[in-house]
Amino acid sequence: MTLQRITALTILVLAQAACVSPASRGAAPTPAIIRPASDIFLAEPQFTNLNPDSVTVEVETRQSVVCAVVYGTTGDYGQIATDTDMAGGGHSAHHPTLTGLQPDTLYYARFEGVGPDGTLYRSGEYTFRTPPAEAAASGEANLASSQAGARIVGVSSNYGGVDDSAYGGRRAIDGSPGTQWSSDGDGDAAWIEIELAAETRVARIGFWTRTMGSSAQINSFRIVTDTGEVLGPFDLPDAAKIYYFDTGFTARRLRFEAVTSSGGNTGAVEIEVYGESPK
């Protein structure tokens, strides 16, 4: 949801209060209600998966709301993030990813939301600092990234149809935590196959499952290679970040298959592969 759409939604709520006829609203106009977001927070928002260029904000609310986080290097903000899994409605488990950040920089952020009754919620201001770029540099190249020459050769399905759509398979290898691949309701039957640029001795893989709160979360997955080798299952504790698993196999094509999930539009935020070509 863009900044313009959030602004338009706020204006619409205000307009609805102002444009009702006197007969239907009584003698006095009904003002829009703005309440502290703390009224609906189950706990304070947590800034997780902190990277030099991104961070995830996790918070649960007592009721379903359409939410956004505005953020920037000053209190004027200038950037906005929403959950990518709202599917046109509100929910209670929120985890928008703030992207486009600069390393070692102080940021200001504020949570805003709209409830089903038109109530507007706004939090106090939070601050966080991104880590320096050198602190995150591991010296390893993610061989499953499109930048490294990897490509998607098959998926169980894409929510939206094609691999380069908003929720297409390519989103799982684009290096951005702000995008994700979503299947179209495949649940435990979801799979995605990645072809690396060359046959590789894979030493480690990473998998970050998407979630929609009560559904769409992969709890465990396995890998089937182009040589027929099956590895796993690998258990994913939650959807808060990417989880890494040490491996030791050689392949060029890796098919990641859901084993258990919470059903629905399962998929992945990011998939990573590390290793080297056999000598």
pLDDT of the residue at 38: 92
Q: pLDDT-derived band of residue 21, with 50, 70 and 90 as boundaries?
A: very low
Residue type, 253: R
**Percentage with pLDDT > 90 across the chain:** 56
* Nearest to 121, CA basis, from 57, 64, 77: 64
| Cβ count within 10 A of residue 42 | 10
Q: pLDDT-derived band of residue 16, with 50, 70 and 90 as boundaries?
A: very low
**pLDDT tens figures, 145-182:** 999 999 999 999 999 878 888 899 999 999 888 889 99
Domains along the chain?
A: 3-135 (2.60.40.10), 138-276 (2.60.120.260)
Residue type, 266: T
pLDDT of 27 over the 80 cut: no
User: How far is 4 from 7, CA to CA, in rounded Å?
Assistant: 5
Classified as helix, coil or strand, 266 is coil
User: How far is 113 from 94, CA to CA, in rounded Å?
Assistant: 11
pLDDT of 10 over the 80 cut: no
Look-up of token digits 């290898």: 173
- What is the gyration radius of the CA atoms in the chain, in angstroms? 21
Residues 243, 248, 251, CA angle at the centre, nearest 5°?
100
Beta partners for 69?
Answer: 81, 111
Mean pLDDT of the chain: 84
Look-up of token digits 């299952």: 233
**pLDDT tens figures, 81-94:** 987 665 567 888 88
**Percentage with pLDDT > 70 across the chain:** 84
DSSP sequence for 132-169: PHHHH--S---TTSGGGT-EEEEES--BTSSTTSTBSG
* Nearest to 172, CA basis, from 154, 186, 188: 154
**pLDDT tens figures, 124-152:** 999 999 888 764 445 678 999 999 999 99
pLDDT of the residue at 31: 52
